[in-house]
Amino acid sequence: MVEQKTIAATGNTLVAEAIRQCSPDVIPAYPITPQTTVVEELAKCVANGRMHAEYVNVESEHSAMSSAVGASAAGARVATATSSQGLALMWEVLHIAAGMRLPIVMFNANRALSAPINIHCDHSDVMGARDTGWVIMFAETAQEAYDNTIMAFRIAEHPDVLLPVMSTADGFITTHSIDRAEIMDDASVTEFVGEYEPTYDLLNFDKPVSHGNFAGLGGPYFEFKKQQRSAIDASMPVIKAVGAEFSELSGRPFDVVEGWGMEDAEVAIVVIGSTAGNARHVARQMRKNGVKAGVLKVRVFRPFPAEEIRQALSGVKAIAVLDRSESFGAEGAPLFLEVRSALYDLDRRIPMVNYIYGLGGSDVRIELIERVFNDLTDLASGAVQPFGMQYLGTR
Amino acid sequence: MSWDISDIDKWKAEQFPRGAVIPESGNSQDYNVGGWRSERPYRDPEVCIQCLLCWIFCPDSSVLVEGDQMVGFDYDHCKGCGICANECPSNPKFGGRKAIEMVPEGCELPGASASDSEVK
């Protein structure tokens, strides 16, 4: 374990610190609430010489991601950050970054999408990017946002992976609250992330290459998609290995899914991000009342940890999946659909329900989580039948 | 470096360079794009004054020059954009005709000498 400094800081400050410590060569960024303080902090670091990056002021997020693609293809280590409408505006270029296999690292402050306009937390923005080919990590706390962001560079640049990685944290809840966190010294982070050695860098004039080529008209487009699938599948063991190494350094646990009370849980909530804390708090109370409650937090959403989720949930009697985003018209929201699909291969069918909660920063109150656990107890006993999907906490 | 793609049709997905990268330069010459053309440039050598404007303006380096003489077109790479015909100056000695004009693919060339259309 390395020696660390305990500080009080917002999630955004910690993410900016993580990015600074990983020394990207290029930062093309456009500010958007609630990500703004990340890029402000980084701009300040570049201006006052605390980091030596090319900071590119762009005119939109589409340009931010396009610049990131160009700089990464040129051979640079590239980082950026965005949120909500900004991520939505990047959409077509997200696919290009992944398809060109460029290890860009981006932080996203999870925020609702318009309309109506809203600046608060939900996961609609990230979930909209779930099929773009990016590795996607979720942080529960500011500490996890810092840790995930540092790990993101190692994962992205690993020769077996070479994919862009999105490190995310819940807008305002995590990005703007001051939290206690431990940070490593610069030298330890530098050593951990290592030097990025690009293989097909455009600026290497001794080995000229061309990027962004055409693979249509009967060309191997389909084969390149298969390569991408192999790469994101291969990222799972890499994420675990990088996580284990980081845990050793930091003394903090990391897993793609993290359980609380799952060893003997009879009813379980599956959740992503900051709400995991609320869920654990309620689960602790429930256990005092004799309910064997558990919480399973999904920290890496892409690649989806289906095997780990199957293992963690195989013994429970009822499951509630909490989604902070909608998939309008679908059988349920994104996390629910994937968890239920993962559990299809179990011999025993476990009653499962989906709650959509907290859209647009709607408060996730303790009594709402209590209601979920009470519903689960009824489901487990057979008093009620699975009811599909419900909105939690709407009027 | 020479990138051997002779059996590319048989390659497995993992054999292609990552991310559709082409790992060498200057190989666009190996790709025949002549089939994209709907019109081809035709040159009347009688009218041509060898000003070489076509050679300067051709965006695909498809005007063939030997020494200081324009000798014809590279029909494997000419995409028929017509810039050469547009830039070609009219020749008053021939009633203002241009040496280069665009003719639809598949049509017989107006007054084409066999030697001219055969050049590469």
Note the pLDDT of residue A186: 97
pLDDT at residue B27, as a whole number? 86
Asked whether the predicted pLDDT for residue A393 surpasses 90, the reply is yes
CA A205 to chain B, closest CA, distance in angstroms equals 10
For residue B24, the chain A residues in CB contact (below 8 A) are 208-209
Interface residue of A69, A72, A95, A101 to substitute, partner B, most B CBs within 10 Å: A101
Check: CB of residue A208 under 8 Å from CB of residue A39: no
Q: Which two tokens stand for residue A43?
A: 């701009």
The pLDDT tens digits of the residues spanning A359-384 come to 999 999 999 999 999 999 999 999 99
Nearest to A153 by CA among A140, A135, A131, A129: A135
Write the pLDDT tens digit of every residue in A276-321: 999 999 999 999 999 999 999 999 999 999 999 999 999 999 999 9
A-chain residues within 8 Å CB-CB of B20?
99-100, 211-213, 215, 220, 224
In a mutagenesis test of the B interface, which of A205, A206, A210 is the best target, namely the one with the most B β-carbons within 10 Å? A210
> Would the pLDDT of B115 be above 80?
no
CB contact under 8 A, B25 and A99: no
Interface check B22 vs A, CB under 8 A: yes
The alpha carbon of residue A238 is apart from the nearest alpha carbon of chain B, in Å, by 18
Q: How far apart are CA A274 and CA A269, in angstroms?
A: 14
Task: Report the first-to-last Cα separation within chain A, whole angstroms.
Answer: 49
For helices A11-21 and A142-157, angle between their N-to-C axes, nearest 10 degrees = 30
pLDDT at A150 over 50: yes
pLDDT band at B117 (very low <50, low <70, confident <90, very high): very low
Report the C-alpha gap between B71 and B50 in whole angstroms: 9
Q: Kindly state whether A234 is in contact with chain B, defined as any CB-CB distance less than 8 angstroms.
A: no
Task: Give A88's contacts (C-beta < 8 A, 6+ positions apart).
Answer: A113, A125, A128
Q: What one-character DSSP code corresponds to residue A210?
A: B
Residue B29 in this model has a pLDDT that exceeds 60: yes
CA-nearest residue to B1 within chain A is: A207
Nearest beta carbon to residue A213 from set B11, B12, B22 = B22
Nearest to B23 among A102, A200, A220 (CB): A200
Do residue B18 and residue A162 have CB atoms under 8 angstroms apart? yes
A263 within 8 A of A279, measured Cβ to Cβ: no
Is the separation of the CB atoms in A221 and A215 below 8 Å?
Answer: yes
Burial class (CB in 10 A: 0-12, 13-18, 19+), B36: exposed
For residue A375, the one-letter residue type is D
Of B80, B49, B48, B52, the C-alpha closest to B64 is: B52
Closest-CA residue in chain A for B18? A101
Q: Which tens digits make up the pLDDT trace of B57-78? A: 999 999 999 999 999 999 999 9
pLDDT category at B1 given cuts 50, 70, 90 is low
- Nearest partner of A248 among A192, A198, A196, A298, judged by Cα: A192
Tokens for A209, please give them.
Answer: 């290459």
Residues recorded for chain B: 120
- B119 falls in which pLDDT band (50, 70, 90)? very low
Contact of B36 with chain A, judged by CB distance below 8 Å, is answered with: no
Going through chain B in order, the beta strands assigned E by DSSP cover: 39-43, 63-66, 69-73, 90-91, 97-98, 100-104
Over pLDDT 90: what percentage of chain A? 99
Nearest to A148 by CA among A161, A163, A138: A138
pLDDT tens, position by position, A155-204: 999 999 999 999 999 999 999 999 999 999 999 999 999 999 999 999 99
| Test mutation, B18, B27, B32, chain A, max A CBs within 10 A | B18
pLDDT given for residue B110 in this prediction: 58
Nearest by CB: A208 against B14, B20, B24? B24
Q: Are A149 and A80 in contact (CB under 8 A)?
A: no
The mean-pLDDT minimum among B16-25, B72-81, B106-115 falls in: B106-115
pLDDT tens digit string along A122-144? 999 999 999 999 999 999 999 99
How many CB pairs below 8 Å do chains A and B form together?
57
Residue B26: the pLDDT is 85
Q: Which residue of B has its CA nearest to A228?
A: B19
Tokens standing for residue A124: 């609609």
